[in-house]
């Protein structure tokens, strides 16, 4: 009698079983003095899971198709204390304590990520302290411009040190943990650094975090890498069309803002001082590009008059140009040289001295 050939079938089942097991993950969370009794695992790819902590412990389990992936884990509202972890096969161990915060371990990438977090943590604390010092100084009444500038310089220097250390760690870690610590820099990096990250982490080309870096590089390459920037024609408050090409031969600072952006409005007095001093002596122009919708048109006009912004004002209610320039927050400014080439992106509020220091790197 012929014996059925069951060996190949068994082999296939074992292989399939092995593949399935190799893609399984277990996230064990151990909490001491946590703010509440729930934990949320948000994997951003399928759905979030919420578990009740029993005796300070819970375990999230699942199977992933591709890995590694960046996900988050933490306490839900109101505390919302969260951490980033790397989802990959194996046993991922997370501990939390009120004093020590989160600690990652268990799998290779999470061990590396925790080591990187540990190296950055001292400077993270310094950045927070410096920002708090400036924030408190800014809130003082009457506000002292000199004290605000001094506090701003302190946080500038600390942020620079943290950025330099982060870049060093990125170069030393062409792994997924290195990619994770790259992400906070992407919004403000120049095209040269973004190009390095694109090449450094090309192993993760299918990951959407990597793809976001590629997109930011492509935008930076055409807007702030010394190449002619895309042009525009938008209406000014009188309804006349204003084109970027009208200002060729001048240094142009594009200022993206909207009426209800508080830090955009707080930046205006600093821009006024710089503009008054530089408009003739340094062949300098500012073009403020408002993204206010038609319903806020009158408020836009009122804000311009109230704030005393006497330079060129245009409105792009469709946000077409900001999207083309990769503007993800306001205020954001783009410096364009007299030949029409973009050379620098400036993200967020700056004290006047900080803004001058950035611009004077290019405008002599």
Question: How far is 296 from 307, CA to CA, in rounded Å?
Answer: 16
- Residue 28 β-bridge partners: 59, 93
Which tokens hold the place of 76? 């839900």
Least confident piece of the model among 21-25, 36-40, 146-150, 190-194:
21-25
- Examine the pLDDT at 1 and tell me if it is beyond 70: no
**pLDDT of 14 over the 80 cut:** no
Task: Give the tens place of pLDDT for each residue, 55-73.
Answer: 999 999 998 888 899 999 9
**CA dist 225 to 25, 341, 343, Å?**
42, 8, 6
Q: Give the distance, in angstroms, between the CA of residue 304 and the centroid of all CA atoms in the same chain.
A: 29
Side-chain half-sphere of 36: how many Cα atoms within 13 Å?
15
- Cross-strand bridge partners of residue 343: none
pLDDT, tens digit, for every residue of 207-246? 999 999 999 999 999 999 999 999 999 999 999 999 999 9
pLDDT above 70 coverage of the chain, percent: 93
* Predicted pLDDT at 131: 97
Mean predicted confidence (pLDDT) in 307-334: 94
- The two tokens of residue 58 are 């819970």
| pLDDT bracket for residue 324 (50, 70, 90) | confident
Q: What is the pLDDT of residues 112-131, one digit of tens each?
A: 999 999 999 999 999 999 99
**Looking at residue 46, what is its pLDDT?**
64
Average pLDDT over residues 320-330: 90
Boundaries of CATH 2.60.40 in the chain?
7-106
Structure confidence at residue 45 (pLDDT): 65
Query: Comparing 46 with 139, which gets the higher pLDDT?
Result: 139
- Taking CA atoms, 101 is separated from 32, 62, 199, 225, in Å, by 10, 25, 33, 40
Assess whether pLDDT exceeds 50 at residue 18: no
b/e map 247-283, b = 16+ CB within 10 Å: beebbbbbbbbbbebeebbebbebbbebbeebbeeee
Is the CATH number 3.40.30.10 carried by domain 233-359?
yes
Q: Which residues pair with 255 in a beta bridge?
A: 288, 333
Distance (Å, whole) CA 283 – CA 339: 12
According to the CATH classification, is domain 7-106 in 2.60.40? yes
Name residue, tokens 């170069």: 171
**Per-residue confidence band for 316, with pLDDT thresholds at 50, 70 and 90:** very high
Predicted pLDDT of residue 80: 87
Site of tokens 């993950």:
25
Residues 272, 310: contact at Cβ < 8 Å?
yes
Residue 138 pairs in a beta bridge with none
> How many Å apart are CA 312 and CA 288, to the nearest integer?
6
Residue 68's Cα: distance from chain center in Å?
21
Record the pTM. Answer: 0.89
218's CB contacts (< 8 A; 6+ apart) are none
> In the predicted model, is pLDDT for residue 202 greater than 90?
yes
Domain with CATH 3.40.30.10 in the chain: 233-359
**pLDDT for 47 beyond 90:** no
Are 116 and 107 within 8 A, CB to CB? no
- Average pLDDT of the segment spanning 79-102: 94
Residue 338: pLDDT band with limits 50, 70, 90? very high
pLDDT at 146: 97
Q: Write out the two tokens for 101.
A: 């915060």
- Express each pLDDT in 122-171 by its tens digit: 999 999 999 999 999 999 999 999 999 999 999 999 999 999 999 999 99
- Select from 93, 28, 103, 24 the least CA-distant residue to 65: 24
HEC string for the chain = CCCCCCHHHHHHHHHHHHHHHHCEEEEEEEEECCCCCEEEEECCCCCEEEEECECCEEEEEEECCCCCEEEEEECCCCCCCEEEEEECCEEEEEEEECCCEEEEECCHHHHHHHHHHHHHHHHHHHHHHHHHHHHHHHHCCCCCHHHHHHHHHHHHHHHHHHHHHHHHHHHHCCCHHHHHHHHHHHHHCCHHHHHHHHHHCHHHCCCHHHHHHHHHHHHHHHHCCCCECCCCEEECCCCCEEEHHHHCCCEEEEEEECCCCHHHHHHHHHHHHHHHHHCCCCCEEEEEEECCCHHHHHHHHHHHHHHCCCCEEEECCCCHHHHHCCCCCCCEEEEECCCCEEEEEEECCCCHHHHHHHHCCCCC
């Amino acid at each position: 009698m012929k014996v059925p050939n069951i060996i190949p079938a068994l082999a296939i089942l074992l292989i399939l079983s092995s593949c399935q097991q190799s893609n399984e993950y277990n996230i064990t969370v151990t909490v001491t003095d946590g703010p509440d009794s729930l934990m949320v695992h948000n994997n951003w790819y399928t759905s979030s899971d919420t578990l009740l902590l029993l005796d300070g412990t819970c375990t999230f389990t699942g199977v992933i198709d591709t890995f590694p992936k960046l996900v988050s884990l933490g306490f839900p509202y109101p505390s919302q204390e969260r951490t980033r972890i790397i989802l990959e096969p194996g046993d991922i161990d997370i501990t939390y304590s009120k004093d020590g915060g989160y600690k990652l371990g268990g799998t290779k990438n999470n061990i590396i990520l925790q080591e990187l977090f540990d190296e950055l943590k001292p400077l993270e604390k310094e950045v927070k302290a410096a920002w708090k010092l400036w924030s408190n100084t800014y809130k003082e009444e009457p506000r002292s411009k000199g004290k605000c500038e001094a506090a701003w310089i302190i946080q500038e220097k600390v942020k620079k040190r943290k950025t330099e250390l982060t870049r060093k760690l990125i170069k030393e870690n062409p792994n997924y943990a290195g990619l994770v610590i790259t992400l906070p820099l992407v919004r403000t990096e120049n095209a040269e650094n973004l190009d390095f990250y694109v090449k450094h982490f090309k192993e993760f080309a299918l990951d959407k975090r990597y793809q976001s870096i590629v997109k930011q590089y492509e935008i930076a390459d055409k807007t702030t890498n010394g190449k002619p920037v895309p042009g525009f024609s938008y209406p000014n408050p009188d309804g006349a069309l204003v084109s970027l090409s009208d200002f060729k031969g001048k240094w142009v600072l594009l200022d993206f803002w909207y009426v209800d952006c508080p830090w955009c409005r707080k930046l205006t007095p600093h821009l006024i001082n710089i503009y008054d001093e530089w408009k003739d002596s340094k062949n300098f122009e500012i073009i403020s590009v408002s993204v206010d919708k038609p319903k806020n048109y009158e408020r836009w006009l009122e804000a311009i008059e109230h704030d005393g912004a006497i330079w060129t004002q245009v409105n792009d209610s469709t946000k077409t140009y900001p999207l083309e320039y990769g503007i993800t927050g306001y205020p954001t400014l783009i410096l364009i040289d007299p030949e029409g080439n973009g050379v620098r992106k400036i993200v967020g509020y700056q004290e006047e001295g900080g803004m001058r220091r950035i611009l004077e790197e290019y405008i002599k």
